[in-house]
Amino acid sequence: MPLILNEEQEMLQDAAKGFLAEKAPVSAFRTVRDNKPADGFCRQLWTEMAQMGWAGIIVDETHGGSGFGYVGAGVLAEEMGRNLTASPFFSTSVLGATAIQKYGTEKQKDENLAAISGGETLFALAVDEGPRHKPDHIAFSAEPAGNGFILSGTKTFVADGHVADKLIIAARTSGDEGDTAGITLFLVDANAPEITRVHTPMVDSRNAADIAVEGLEVTGDDILGELDGGYAALEGILSAGRAVLSAEMSGSAQQVFDVTTDYLKEREQFGQKIGSFQGLQHRAAQLATEIEMMKSAVLKSLKDLDQDFDNAGMTCCLAKAKTGQVAQLATKEAIQMHGGIGVTDEYDVGLYFKRVHVAQQMFGDAGFHSDRWARNSGY
């Protein structure tokens, strides 16, 4: 399989560029940021995205999706990253859809996939319980009771958690915090009265929530995947999330880099274009190289998810590690090379810097993933 987009994927990319330039450029994101709508995104835009087939981008056509797979999702995410588009795409169409499509029962698929594809039901994945990503450290409890379980605990940094209709919660059904065995995923109604959701505005002006659950009764039918064996499913969902989030970050990195090189060609100081100074040229050249390395890792992870989902974990780890570093470098350099204007709110590069920081925290930063790579490699 060549490591390039095919014709169909290139057409999707062109369509995404056109649509987002018109409907959701960075100025649209600024509007959402400044007007602070309760949802944190524009419902109308999401409806249109669903009509374009984006909400069901990875969902099979038999369930109302467009069947583009993860490369397709990555193509869209990259363009959204370029435009800083705020939408429930990541939480619902990547995390939610992956969870249901890969690990759901037929009943769960029938109940949810068409609703995801139609943009009607919003999902959120509740994993982390502290400020640093530790998916194997799950204390959130699911106590056996009668035929089911009682859920109690807290989750933090749940992307789109405050608007979600359904929550996927990683809970502990057995074992100790720190064990990968004994974790179970539950699919629950986010509006249950036992669930309290507190919107937590983030520095990137995207939406997350703290979630507290107190005595929510669930049954075995609410389990997603296997009882006590939910960690494998969680890993799969996280891998898909890491790859698509990497694509978004890659788009953001490429965009700020393009804006920065344009600026280097325009801005004059000391009577010359600043892009003619070797001190800046060499940094730009090094960054351009890093961006190429990042793009390869991202595309490989997406292709691996499409071709061999269960064994794509390490390429997704590579993609997230690499984009974590490169996108952060790109946004830092963008600000520094712009000089004073780079730290103004009026200028867009700062928005990318903030977004990339939060995206880097989500599902593991570069340090997390190099540790993971090393452990997986036996050292």
Partner 1 sequence: MSDLDKFRAEVRTWLDENCPEEMRDGDITPENQCWGGRQWEFQSEAQKIWFERALAQGYTVPTWPKEYGGAGLSAEEAKILDEERQAINARKPLSNFGISMLGPALLAYGTHEQKAQHLTAIARGEIRWCQGYSEPGAGSDLASLKAKCEDKGDHWLINGQKIWTSNADISDWIFCLVRTDFEAPKHQGITFILIDMASEGISVKPIVLISGHSPFCETFFDDVKVPKSYGDNNPSVVGEINRGWDVAKNLLVHERGMLGTMSPLRGTTGPESLGKFAAEKIGLDATGRLDDPALRQRIAQAELDNWAYDLTVARMTDEANAGNGLGAKSSMLKYVASELTKCGTELRMDIEGTTAATIGEDGIEYGSLANNWLYNRAYSILGGTTEVQFNIISKRVLDLPSQ
Residue 284, judged by CB atoms within 10 A of its CB (0-12, 13-18, 19+), counts as: middle
Contact letters (x/-) for partner 1, 18-57, by CB under 8 A? Answer: ----------------------------------------
Size of the site for partner 1 (CB under 8 A): 40
Which one of 32, 71, 211, 299 is in contact with partner 1 (CB under 8 A)?
299
Stretch binding partner 1 (CB under 8 A), from 35-43, 45-53, 187-195, 296-304: 296-304
Least CB distance to partner 1 at residue 376 (A): 10
Question: Residues 278, 284, 290, 296: what is their CA dihedral angle, to the nearest 10 degrees?
Answer: -130
Three-state secondary-structure class, residue 233: helix
Using the minimum distance from each CB to partner 1, give the nearer residue, 191 or 376: 376
- Residue count (the chain): 379
Residue type, 93: S
Site residues (CB under 8 A) for partner 1, limited to 348-367: 367
Residue 305 in contact with partner 1, rule: CB under 8 A: no
Contact letters (x/-) for partner 1, 248-277, by CB under 8 A? Answer: -------------x--xx------xx-xxx
Match 């419902």 to its residue by tokens: 43
What share of residues in the chain are helix, strand, coil (percent, to 5)?
A: 55, 15, 30
Residue 378 in contact with partner 1, rule: CB under 8 A: yes
Tokens of 149: 């379980």
Least CB distance to partner 1 at residue 293 (A): 4
Which one of 82, 300, 338, 355 is in contact with partner 1 (CB under 8 A)?
300
Using the minimum distance from each CB to partner 1, give the nearer residue, 196 or 272: 272
Least CB distance to partner 1 at residue 117 (A): 31
Which one of 64, 284, 309, 347 is in contact with partner 1 (CB under 8 A)?
284
How many C-beta atoms lie closer than 10 Å to residue 341's C-beta? 13
Using the minimum distance from each CB to partner 1, give the nearer residue, 101 or 260: 260
Q: Could you give the count of Cα atoms lying within 13 Å of 129 in the half-sphere of its Cβ?
A: 19
In this structure, what are the phi and psi dihedrals at residue 59, rounded to the nearest 5 degrees? -75, 140
Three-state secondary-structure class, residue 206: coil
Question: Residues 333, 132, 240, 65: what is their CA dihedral angle, to the nearest 10 degrees?
Answer: -100
In this structure, what are the phi and psi dihedrals at residue 300, rounded to the nearest 5 degrees? -65, -40
Using the minimum distance from each CB to partner 1, give the nearer residue, 200 or 370: 370
Using the minimum distance from each CB to partner 1, give the nearer residue, 196 or 376: 376
DSSP 13-32: HHHHHHHHHHH--HHHHHHH
What is the longest distance spanned by two Cα atoms in the chain?
Answer: 79
Least CB distance to partner 1 at residue 78 (A): 15
Which one of 8, 110, 310, 371 is in contact with partner 1 (CB under 8 A)?
371
Least CB distance to partner 1 at residue 267 (A): 11
Which one of 282, 311, 339, 344 is in contact with partner 1 (CB under 8 A)?
282
Cα four-point dihedral sign 216, 220, 221, 226: positive
Using the minimum distance from each CB to partner 1, give the nearer residue, 288 or 341: 288
Binding residues for partner 1 (CB under 8 A): 2-4, 261, 264-265, 272-273, 275-278, 281-282, 284-286, 288-289, 292-297, 299-300, 318, 321-322, 367, 369-371, 373-375, 377-379
